[in-house]
A and B are shown apart, each in its own frame.
Chain A
Amino acid sequence: MNLAVFTLIDLRRIFVDWAGLFFTTGLPVLFYLLFGAMQTYADAPFGEGNVAAYIMVGMAVYGGVTSACSTVGSTAVEQTTGWGRQLALTPLGSVPMLVSKTVVILVRAAFPVAAVNIAGIFTSAEMPAATWVTCAVVSVLAALPFGFYGMIFGILFRSESAVSIASTSVVILAFLGNSFSPLPEFLMGLARFSPMYGATSLARYPLSEGQQAVSDVGVLVTDPLWYAVANVIAWTIVFAAICALLARKKQKGRR
């Protein structure tokens, strides 16, 4: 048995799906360049770094979330459409399979995060190296719970297009979660309860120390860290619980 080969071939599929690669990696990089690096306020200081870095982390999280969502969603679809049966006929146990899939999901979530961060290095984003690395790592980790979000669509609709819709819907969640352009302050009350707020705020925390950019001039919003942590934990539980319920229902209703 060679789990590394198995995982590598699975990983290589990322380069076959050009549309997927564009949406999960190309788009966040483009968004960062357009709404971050090219803006006049890019060099304005923000926390330990500058505004470009703040926007960069938001875009990285958005890319990571989209990627985690589509990877896990597609995996769920594959499982239900027969590839799962094919694998069940091999000596591959469920633990090595889970390990392999976790690596695939991690790498695929890290891919857009890395791409956006590299774009940041070559443009105007600035922050201390240690902060930068911490932000990038947290971006990947915070994206993972959204795998469950994609899985809900995968189990429910059993089709790749449903998963595409799910990963596209991340854009809306990103706007709601203050990951993209700063929301007006009065909407922050709502934003704090939306799923992307937690992931984005957590990934930005090393840079921002809780400071949220809002569109109102002269208003400063600083959220405590526990807002972000509570948000991430709550939404992870919600998404995972829905998946567990759906999976159990499917199991019972099997032919």
Chain B
Amino acid sequence: MNTNVIRADGLVKSFKDGSGRSFDAVAGIGLEVGPGEIIGLLGPNGAGKSTLIDMVLGLTRPTRGTIEVFGAEPLRSIKRGRIGAVLQTGGLLPDLTVADTIRMIAATHRDPLPLETVLAQADLTHLARRRVGKCSGGEQQRIRFALAVLSNPELLILDEPTTGMDAGARHAFWDAMADQAREGRTIIFATHYIEEAQNFARRIVMVGRGRIVADGPTEEVRERASARTVTAVLPEGLDAAALPGVISVGTSGDRTTLTTADSDALARHLLTETAATDLSISTGSLEDAFLALTSSEPAKEQL
């Protein structure tokens, strides 16, 4: 029995670049997603997030490896309307009205939600008769969202859904997503806004250079991956950089801020072996974790 929503194994996607050399946009990803999970997909530009999403949606075939959505080929699940997706770019006809756009896509589904319901869910009721080309970036993003939920899908995939939205619109969007989550949908979203992932995702999958660099509950990824800072007043003459496990050193006033991967060991050393006083430990944000994980890889290509 396979109860996974998504199951990817050894997934690789190679592309040829301009000079004919091939590179792996996705270089071996294994991923299992269970029903009802809310996953934030994080990674810098070019990390392979969009390529991974394209493969989940059946828009791109993997070069190697297997991917199943609801225990079947992605395309089959698409045909059954079990997957809804908000794509990053394009995807709309500017000369159609908002309502006609939704009607047109609704006509392709077997059992779509009523127009009024979808308009309300995406907060588009007052814009129904407006032409898509006259809508703002944020409004167009809400139209894409409306198209994604039309088939009442069990899995919702969003590729940078809040791009082009101002702070208020972004807030409203995540409120709408919270409603979607309460209905038990599985949600995967890629984002640049780490705060969004931190607030909304229960699980974080971080991608860097085509591989998963961290995968776990949001709290855990933050804890495990982030460098922590230990701040203390150090005695005169102590070489802070030579302390065990120190990554970087900063000073402000008489306090020294030390970054480390193992805060316990460093604190123990400071308190037992040195005369350091007034010590405090703090956990970094997800942003710190993000930077630490995605930038720490050796830059082999530059050699």
Contact = CB atoms under 8 A, between A and B. Distances in A.
A16 B95 contact: yes
Interface stretch (B77-85, B256-264, B274-282): B77-85
Contacts of A16: 95-96, 131
B79 A86 contact: no
A13 B93 CA distance: 10
Interface residues of A, number: 28
Contact of B104 (A6, A17, A89): A6
A83 B95 contact: no
B55 interface: no
Interface string A1-36: 111011001101100110000000000000000000
A249 interface: no
A40 interface: no
Interface stretch (B30-38, B107-115, B295-303): B107-115
Given A89-B57, A91-B78, A91-B81, A5 B103 contact: yes
B87 interface: yes
Interface residues of B, number: 34
Contacts of A85: 59, 87, 90-91
B76 to A, nearest CB: 10
Given A13-B96, A82-B87, A91-B79, A5 B109 contact: no
Contacts of A6: 104, 107-108
Nearest to B88: A82
B92 interface: yes
A88 interface: yes
B105 interface: yes
A88 B108 contact: no
Interface string A214-255: 000000000000000000000000000000000000001111
B215 interface: no
Contacts of B84: 89
A9 B96 contact: yes
A78 interface: yes
A17 B95 contact: yes
A133 interface: no
Nearest to B80: A91
A1 B96 contact: no
A81 B25 CA distance: 22
B108 A87 contact: yes
A254 B61 CA distance: 12
B147 interface: yes
B288 interface: no
Contact of A86 (B16, B58, B95, B105): B105
B100 interface: yes
A128 interface: no
Interface in A111-166: none
Interface string A77-121: 010011101111111110000000000000000000000000000
A9 B104 contact: yes
A16 B96 CA distance: 8
Contact of A9 (B15, B25, B92, B100): B100
Given A91-B79, A91-B80, A86 B87 contact: yes
27 contacts: A1-B107, A1-B109, A2-B107, A3-B107, A5-B107, A9-B103, A12-B100, A81-B90, A82-B89, A82-B90, A82-B91, A83-B92, A85-B59, A86-B87, A86-B147, A88-B58, A88-B59, A89-B57, A89-B83, A89-B148, A90-B108, A90-B109, A91-B79, A91-B81, A252-B16, A255-B15, A255-B25
Interface of B: 15-16, 25, 57-59, 78-81, 83-85, 87, 89-93, 95-96, 100, 103-105, 107-110, 131, 144, 147-148, 151
Given A3-B107, A13-B96, A87-B108, 20 more contacts: A1-B109, A1-B110, A5-B107, A6-B104, A9-B96, A9-B104, A82-B87, A83-B92, A86-B87, A88-B59, A89-B57, A89-B59, A89-B78, A89-B83, A90-B81, A90-B105, A91-B110, A252-B16, A255-B15, A255-B25
